[in-house]
Amino acid sequence: MNTVTILHNPGCSKSRATLELLAERGIVPRIVYYLRAPPGIEELEQLLALLGLQPRELMRRDESAYLSNGLDDPNLGRAELLAALHAHPQLIQRPIVIAGGKAAIGRPPEAVLDIL
């Protein structure tokens, strides 16, 4: 089986539930604690391509860092939004599971089953 990776935040109930869902299926993923080691710009670009999303679609708009950094400004470009995701990884939707050249956001956790 291909390596399964999860961008995990142990403080997030959806992230914990997704990890549990994988374990129930006998999958032991590589766990990336993205808040401790934020993904670089290139890695964010790869994630966005796998997810089929634009940078703003990957952002948690209810996080205080979203408004406090003016990320609701529609004039911000891709590079600025990617820089914000890197600088403030708590803005990244979670969890993200990557497997077999595909990725899915575990909201709900069962959404990741489509890529396994």
pTM: 0.94
pLDDT band at 2 (very low <50, low <70, confident <90, very high): confident
Distances (CA, A) of 60 to 1, 26, 79, 95, 104: 31, 30, 17, 12, 15
Taking all residues of the chain, what is their mean pLDDT, rounded to a whole number?
Answer: 96
Please count the other Cβ atoms lying within 10 Å of the Cβ belonging to residue 32: 17
Q: Write down all domains in the chain, each with its CATH number in brackets.
A: 4-115 (3.40.30.10)
Which residues, including other chains, have CB under 8 Å from residue 23's CB and lie 6 or more apart? none
Q: Is 12 annotated in the active site?
A: yes
| CA 113/CA 108 separation, integer angstroms | 10
Share of the chain above pLDDT 90, in %: 98
pLDDT for 7: 98
pLDDT for 68: 96
Share of the chain above pLDDT 70, in %: 99
User: Is the Cβ–Cβ distance between 113 and 86 less than 8 Å?
Assistant: no
Q: Which amino acid is present at 51?
A: L
pLDDT for 103: 98
Q: Report the DSSP pairing between strands 4-7 and 96-99.
A: antiparallel
pLDDT digits (tens, 9 = 90+) for 29-46: 999 999 999 999 999 999
List 3, 7, 10, 12, catalytic entry: 12
pLDDT band at 21 (very low <50, low <70, confident <90, very high): very high
What is the average per-residue pLDDT within 2-7?
Answer: 92
What is the average per-residue pLDDT within 51-64?
Answer: 97
The DSSP annotation for 45-107 comes to HHHHHHHT--GGGGB-TTSHHHHHTTTT-TT--HHHHHHHHHH-GGGB-S-EEEETTEEEE-S
What is the average per-residue pLDDT within 6-29?
Answer: 97
